[in-house]
Amino acid sequence: MHDVLEGIANYDMCFIIPYIVEKGCVSYEELHDLVQGFFYGNQEFGNKPPLICKKRIMEKESLGFSASEMLCLIR
């Protein structure tokens, strides 16, 4: 769980998100609105992903999400 969700997935999303933005599928603003406006329900509300930091994505670091936040985002 920690290796994949806190490591690989956090790092890979720094490449996936700019790719889908570049292809015109979604903008960063739309992505923020979608993630923040999504109804997560009672079980996932506590795992709601935080705002995606564009600066961290551009530096190809990681999103800095916890394992539960990343699982909620990629699900």
Q: What is the pLDDT of residues 15-48, one digit of tens each?
A: 999 999 999 999 989 998 998 899 988 888 888 8
Predicted pLDDT of residue 59: 80
pTM of the entire structure? 0.80
Q: In angstroms, rounded to a whole number, what is the distance separating the alpha carbons of residues 21 and 67?
A: 24
pLDDT one-digit tens code per residue, 53-62: 777 787 877 7
Residue 72 has pLDDT above 80, yes or no: yes
**Domain limits, the chain:** 2-74
Predicted pLDDT of residue 33: 92
Q: Where are the alpha helices (DSSP H) in the chain?
A: 9-22, 28-37, 41-44, 54-58, 67-74
Predicted pLDDT of residue 65: 87
Q: Is 60 left (phi over 0), alpha (psi -120 to 50) or beta?
A: left
